[in-house]
Amino acid sequence: MSSESLIFKGSFNVYSLVGHSGDVTAIATSSENPDMILTASRDKTIIMWTLTRDESAYGYPKRILHGHNGFVSDVVVSSDGQFALSASWDKTLRLWDLNTGLTTRRFVGHTSDVLSVSFSADNRQIVSGSRDRTIKLWNTLGECKFNIQEEGHTEWVSCVRFSPNPLNPVIVSAGWDKVVKVSYCLVSRGFDFVSAFRFGFPPSFRISTFDARCAAKHDDFTTCVIFATSEGLSIPMRPLNYPPRSLISADGSRSMVGAQHNPPSTTRTIADLWRLALVQVWELSKCKLRTNHFGHTGYISTVTVSPDGSLCASGGKDGITMLWDLNEGKHLYSLEAGDTINALVFSPNRYWLCAATDSAIKIFDLESKSIVDELKPEFETTQGGRAPIATSLAWSADGQTLFAGYSDNVTRVYSVVA
């Protein structure tokens, strides 16, 4: 690991972010906006902080997001840094515009506390996990597209995370049933998921796929199109008598105008068939269980995925961090944290894994598979004779600063030093 380590920047009030009146349950950072972080709390709010990194104060609350009627259990930021997504014990999710601080969508459907949320790599899909034992897949319009119930968790779903790798679109989930589940969510390899097609003049035809590649181009009128999926299903587009003039939105959710002709009743328009194709592709791309990972002896409270999407780490009541290979679907090794694990996070630029436990924050070097640092600052106050507990973690995008939320309502800042 070299000689790098982490230090707590300052005392209780200096280089700490103080503003919540409840446990800090989640922290989110953004590579697009490195001077901003979000913290969620049991005080039912989300605070948007501006980081000044001054000696007198590390940051200040720029905006407080109100709306939830229960504890806010999780918060994440979209990859463009423009939106935030939150989960709450009020059974809802909320999508926030960070430029205005207003809720743009409210997601209703869970029947119990929502414990975790995550954006897909392209921000078009949202996944949530709840105490109702279900995992729901949503679009950004607030519509629930799929419930993962078959082969799902048998107890509370405590944490859900999308892989950041768009070429391996999996959802990793953990629950109080002591199981980590990896579900394949979206058919994206090859030319499976058609996101858009267009006709041009002179007559030509292009298909663009989910992975942004162009599948075909014809320089003459196109009379028939067949979509093939990895599941072996062909979805035909009927021949048209005239050059079509359809325009389909990039996300495939709506067509602006159909083909300009009058087909017989047995023939569908290109727009109609597009909708049919989307339905079929959606049916094929439902989340399917890929792997069950067993090994924990207590409930699992947290999972995290490595920045390249190749590894997953899980932890919980048994104080063991288990590392899993998401590509091979196998257990790699386990790390002993020594206490209940509340949060896990991979470093974005080092081979480190950080674990927030009831006693301290443990820094694991994954090359040596050992604890190389332990963060346990001296607290000026205690809660019933016990030091505050680290409940949430997040790295800055550059990997130089670790933010930790605590049960005494404070977010503390740790900096990497050589």
Q: Coil, strand or helix: which one is 275?
A: helix
Q: Which residues of 173-187 are buried (b: 16+ CB within 10 A; e: fewer)?
A: bbbbbbbbbbbbbbb
pLDDT band at 68 (very low <50, low <70, confident <90, very high): very high
Residue 151, phi-psi category: left (phi > 0), alpha (psi -120 to 50), beta (remainder): left
Using the predicted structure, report yes or no on whether residue 243 has a pLDDT greater than 60. Answer: no
Q: How many CB atoms lie within 10 A of CB 196?
A: 16
416 or 19: which carries more pLDDT confidence? 19
What the block records as the tokens of 199 is 């006709």
Tokens of 137: 């897949």
Give the pLDDT confidence score for residue 383 in this predicted structure.
64
Instruction: State yes or no: pLDDT of 69 exceeds 90.
Output: yes
Cα gap 186→65, rounded to integer Å: 32
- For residue 247, is pLDDT > 90? no
The answer to whether the beta carbons of residues 107 and 140 sit under 8 Å apart is: no
At residue 281, the 3 state secondary structure works out as helix
Q: Is the pLDDT of residue 399 over 60?
A: yes
> Pairing state of beta strands 320-325 and 5-8?
unpaired
Residue pLDDT, tens place only, 207-228: 444 444 444 455 555 545 555 4
Separation CA 352–CA 364 (nearest Å): 5
Q: What is the pLDDT of residues 293-309, one digit of tens each?
A: 999 999 999 999 999 99
Higher pLDDT, 105 or 248: 105
pLDDT, residue 382, reads 64
Residue 412 has pLDDT above 80, yes or no: yes
Residue 263 contacts residue 277 (beta carbons within 8 Å): no
- The 114-119 sheet, strands edge to edge: 114-119, 125-130, 135-139, 144-148
Using DSSP bridges, classify how beta strands 72-77 and 59-65 pair: parallel, antiparallel or unpaired: unpaired
Token digits of residue 359? 């006693």
Q: Whose CA is closest to 261, among 204, 205, 217, 223? A: 223
Q: Which pLDDT score is estimated for 379?
A: 76
Angle 157-177-326 (CA atoms, 0-180°, nearest 5)?
75
Return the pLDDT at 285: 45
Confidence of residue 133 (pLDDT cuts 50, 70, 90): very high
- Percent pLDDT > 70 in the chain is 71
Instruction: Tell me the pLDDT tens digit for each residue of 364-379.
Output: 999 999 999 999 888 7
On whether the CB atoms of residues 280 and 235 are closer than 8 A, the answer is yes
Q: Is the pLDDT of residue 180 over 80?
A: yes
Contact at 8 Å (CB) between 18 and 43?
no
Do 207 and 193 contact (CB within 8 A), yes or no?
no
Phi, psi of 275 (to 5 degrees): -65, -40
43: left (phi over 0), alpha (psi -120 to 50) or beta: alpha
User: How many angstroms separate the Cα of 35 from the Cα of each of 24, 192, 262, 410?
Assistant: 19, 39, 57, 18
pLDDT for res 138:
94
Ramachandran class of 299: left when φ > 0, alpha when ψ lies in -120 to 50, beta otherwise: beta
Rounded Cα distance, 184 and 197, in Å? 25
Stretch 388-410: mean pLDDT: 96
Band of pLDDT at residue 9, cut at 50, 70 and 90? low
pLDDT at 290 exceeding the cut of 90: no
Consecutive H or E run containing 28:
strand 24-29
**What domains are there in the chain, each with its CATH number?**
5-186+294-417 (2.130.10.10), 194-284 (no CATH)
- 121 vs 167, 170, 328, 342, 395, CA distance in Å? 10, 10, 21, 24, 18
Q: What is the DSSP letter of 277?
A: H
Q: What is the pLDDT of residue 378?
A: 80
CA distance 180 to 159: 10
Q: Check residue 224 and give its pLDDT.
A: 52
For position 266, what pLDDT does the model report? 39
